[in-house]
Amino acid sequence: MAHQVLHKGAHARYVVSFQKDKKGYEYVASEYLRLSGIYWGTTALMLLTTKKEEDKEKDNNNNPTTQFVDYTKGLSADEVVADVLECRNADGGFASAPGHDSHLLYTLSAVQVLCNYDRLHKELSEEQRRETAKWVASLQSEEDGSFKGDKWGEVDTRFSYCASSCLRLLGFGPELGDIIDVEKAVSFVLSCRNFDEGFGARPGDETHAGQVFCCVGALALLDALDRVDADRLAWWLCERQTEGGGLNGRPQKKQDVCYTWWVLSSLSMLGRLHWVDRTALVAFILSCQDPEEGGISDRPDDEVDVFHTFFGIAGLSLLKYPGLSEVNAKYAMPQRVIEKMGLA
């Protein structure tokens, strides 16, 4: 394989220039998912940044593996936070970009970014946080416990995950049951389980690794992960590894860097991360980098983007690639943030 080391500096430069070039084509064209882009990019910078103590780590040849650079400094925290707050709507939810409707996907991204920068409580009053939580809870169906993504009504297990994560990050611990019907939320997720022990977007839909992450994550966040057969599900997940070393999202499909995250984080939550061939997977991810301009693509020699850059780095972090900060599999956020919030 051509590029066998992670080009941390190049990736950080790529993320920073994407985020700063607000008139650039990529930035303008991604307005419909802008807030998630901010979450992917800024979280990638945080994972590239290691704590100072980790400088002392040595590789097999006793050489230091990390050099401390705070890659997050490439972007102004105040500007990032201002960009996020501009997307807040009067209903308490957040939109992909100013002027759009609130959606659960972007509300989760907003809350994640504010937590990552330790600004959730500084920027949103208790009343505003309650409004956001109420808006999230209002999307749950009283009938079957599912969540819709917004007022327009699409139901998907992605939204069960987003709602669960959002409410936990907003501080709902044992009192989660006061705001949503937890048992019904769990039952809906379980109703999307298939014969292969995997999960789809709605009852009867095909198993897909992205939805498996959402369902395993939601069950973990709702303290119900013991209701899956971990061995059978982990077997389906580790069968996603292809001859090229990368992972696909379902049988007969192509490998893609983003499945490193959806599959590995699920395996990690199930305590079976070691069921994949780590060496082959690391080599595949590294082969998808642009070593000069930075960024990671879905497959070697394809165009890079912030989505695959984040999930490649986060996947490498789960694989304990040297010189990266630890990522939390359940929240897809830096472990140090989750620990500081008392959610680990």
CB neighbour list of residue 226: distance below 8 Å, 6 or more residues apart: none
Looking at residues 83 to 122 of the shown chain, list those that interact with ligand GRG (rule: CB under 6 A). 105
- Tell me the sheet residues that pair with 193: 199
| SS3 category, 166 | helix
d(CA 143, CA 18): 43
Question: Closest separation between CB of residue 59 and ligand GRG, Å?
Answer: 29
Nearer to ligand GRG, 225 or 332 (CB): 332
343 touches ligand GRG (CB under 6 A): no
256 touches ligand GRG (CB under 6 A): yes
| SS3 category, 119 | coil
d(CA 54, CA 62): 14
Question: Closest separation between CB of residue 248 and ligand GRG, Å?
Answer: 6
237 touches ligand GRG (CB under 6 A): no
Question: Closest separation between CB of residue 265 and ligand GRG, Å?
Answer: 8
246 touches ligand GRG (CB under 6 A): no
User: How many residues does this entry show for the chain?
Assistant: 344
Stretch near ligand GRG under the rule CB under 6 A, chosen from 72-80, 118-126, 143-151, 205-213: 205-213
Residue 176: name the closest of 145, 131, 137, 126 by CA: 137
Indicate which single residue of 329, 332, 337, 343 sits in contact with ligand GRG (rule: CB under 6 A).
Answer: 332
Strands 333-334 and 327-328: antiparallel
236 touches ligand GRG (CB under 6 A): no
Nearer to ligand GRG, 66 or 318 (CB): 318
Total interface residues for ligand GRG by CB under 6 A: 15
Cβ-based burial of 321 (10 A; exposed 0-12, middle 13-18, buried ≥19): middle
Record the tokens describing residue 15, joined without a space: 């993320």
CB neighbour list of residue 252: distance below 8 Å, 6 or more residues apart: none
Stretch near ligand GRG under the rule CB under 6 A, chosen from 11-19, 129-137, 219-227, 247-255: 247-255
d(CA 142, CA 180): 9
Does residue 198 contact residue 192 with C-beta atoms inside 8 Å?
no
For residue 148, what is the DSSP state? B
Record the tokens describing residue 288, joined without a space: 């998808």
Question: Closest separation between CB of residue 5 and ligand GRG, Å?
Answer: 25
Indicate which single residue of 11, 148, 168, 250 sits in contact with ligand GRG (rule: CB under 6 A).
Answer: 250
284 touches ligand GRG (CB under 6 A): no
Question: Closest separation between CB of residue 191 and ligand GRG, Å?
Answer: 18
Looking at residues 135 to 194 of the shown chain, list those that interact with ligand GRG (rule: CB under 6 A). 158, 161-162
Longest dimension (CA), the chain: 60
Indicate which single residue of 74, 200, 245, 249 sits in contact with ligand GRG (rule: CB under 6 A).
Answer: 249
Question: Closest separation between CB of residue 56 and ligand GRG, Å?
Answer: 31
Indicate which single residue of 18, 71, 106, 262 sits in contact with ligand GRG (rule: CB under 6 A).
Answer: 262
Question: Closest separation between CB of residue 58 and ligand GRG, Å?
Answer: 32
Nearer to ligand GRG, 69 or 190 (CB): 190
Q: Which residue is nearest to ligand GRG (CB)?
A: 210
Does residue 161 contact residue 215 with C-beta atoms inside 8 Å?
yes
Nearer to ligand GRG, 66 or 285 (CB): 285
Record the tokens describing residue 205, joined without a space: 């839909």
Does residue 124 contact residue 181 with C-beta atoms inside 8 Å?
no
Residues that bind ligand GRG (CB under 6 A): 105, 158, 161-162, 210-211, 213-214, 249-250, 253, 256, 258, 262, 332
